[in-house]
Amino acid sequence: MTEWESLLKEAAERVQDVRDRLLVSQEGNEEVGEGAGGDTTMRVDKEAEEEIIEVVGQKGDVRLVAEEKGESGPKDARWTVVIDPIDGSSNFSRQIPFYCTSIAVLEGDTLDDASHAIVRNLVSGDVYYAEAAGYATKNGSEIHSSRVTELREAMVGVDLSKTSLAIVESLNPLISSVRRQLHFGANALETCFLAEGKIDGFADVRGKIRVMDMAAAYLIGRQAGAVFSDREGRPVKPTISVKERFSIVGAGNKTLHGKMVEKLKAG
């Protein structure tokens, strides 16, 4: 096991402990401030992120891009650690069982430079892990994205929250072509569902997704065989910062991805 793998797994376990404790005491939803990402910070977000930072801080030469605390550490550090302590905070607050923690390590300035990534489903305890040099895993076993190539067979996650009517309308060609359109409310975990072939595609074209939501699942998805782009089919190149917002279209394979992008262009 690499040093990063053991640090990321320990950090995710500590988040699990925070979540378990705060779920029992019912203190997790208490509002404790506003995060650097602009959202309200709940106790669960804050305590989870503090645990992650304590663990990944054991490794030197690190810059942090964290949803609550923001950006810290030297800009020229070798490693950038991108942290979403709880992805799916709204689900957590309503006890809807779909949320996770997400941590990515990048050795460079783009999502494609992600070298190590973990997403832990905090309801089931399932651990998705990938390294750029290896395959994607769930609880240690290799996972692969879907081979479904026909839109009419495809189950596709589409995030429509807080979006404009114009964007909703532009999604009509895609949504009306697929077997099912879904959204679970935690984009990192939903992208891990894409990585393991539970769903066949995922589209968030609101221009609202953040690097913290996607950095880890992007590597896990790619190592599992998924293909990603922006809405026009171009590479996804967000700046690695807390304020950045972008769009992403992912599919289990190149053929389905091409068909999804075609439908989005038609919109």
Q: Which residues bind to ligand IPD, rule: CB under 6 A?
A: 39, 84, 87-90, 159, 161, 185-187, 208-209, 213
Would you tell me how many other CB atoms lie within 10 Å of the CB of residue 74?
A: 9
Q: Which of 47, 49, 51, 84 binds Ca ion (CB under 5 A)?
A: 84
Query: From Ca ion, ligand IPD, none, which one binds at residue 187 (CB under 5 to 8 Å depending on kind)?
Result: ligand IPD
Buried b / exposed e along 134-159 (16+ C-beta atoms within 10 A) = eebbbeeeebbbbebbebeebbbbbb
Does 68 help bind Ca ion (rule: CB under 5 A)? no
Residues 221-260 that bind Ca ion (CB under 5 A): none
Contact 186, 98 (CB under 8 A): yes
Residue nearest to Ca ion (CB): 84
The nearer residue to ligand IPD, 68 or 131, going by C-beta atoms, is: 68
Residue 24 contacts by C-beta under 8 Å, 6 or more apart in sequence? none
Query: From ligand IPD, Ca ion, none, which one binds at residue 159 (CB under 5 to 8 Å depending on kind)?
Result: ligand IPD
Per-position DSSP letters for 5-63, written without gaps between them: HHHHHHHHHHHHHHHHHHHHHT-TT-EEEE-TTSSEEEHHHHHHHHHHHHHHTTSSSEE
The nearer residue to ligand IPD, 179 or 245, going by C-beta atoms, is: 245
The nearer residue to ligand IPD, 92 or 259, going by C-beta atoms, is: 92
Q: Which helix (H) or strand (E) holds 77?
A: none
In the complex, minimum distance from the CB of residue 49 to Ca ion, in angstroms, rounded to a whole number: 9
In the complex, minimum distance from the CB of residue 255 to ligand IPD, in angstroms, rounded to a whole number: 26
In the complex, minimum distance from the CB of residue 17 to Ca ion, in angstroms, rounded to a whole number: 18
In the complex, minimum distance from the CB of residue 14 to Ca ion, in angstroms, rounded to a whole number: 16
111 vs 187: CA distance, rounded Å: 16
Query: From Ca ion, ligand IPD, none, which one binds at residue 192 (CB under 5 to 8 Å depending on kind)?
Result: none
The nearer residue to Ca ion, 47 or 67, going by C-beta atoms, is: 67
Amino acid at 98: F
Look up residue 210 and give its DSSP letter. -
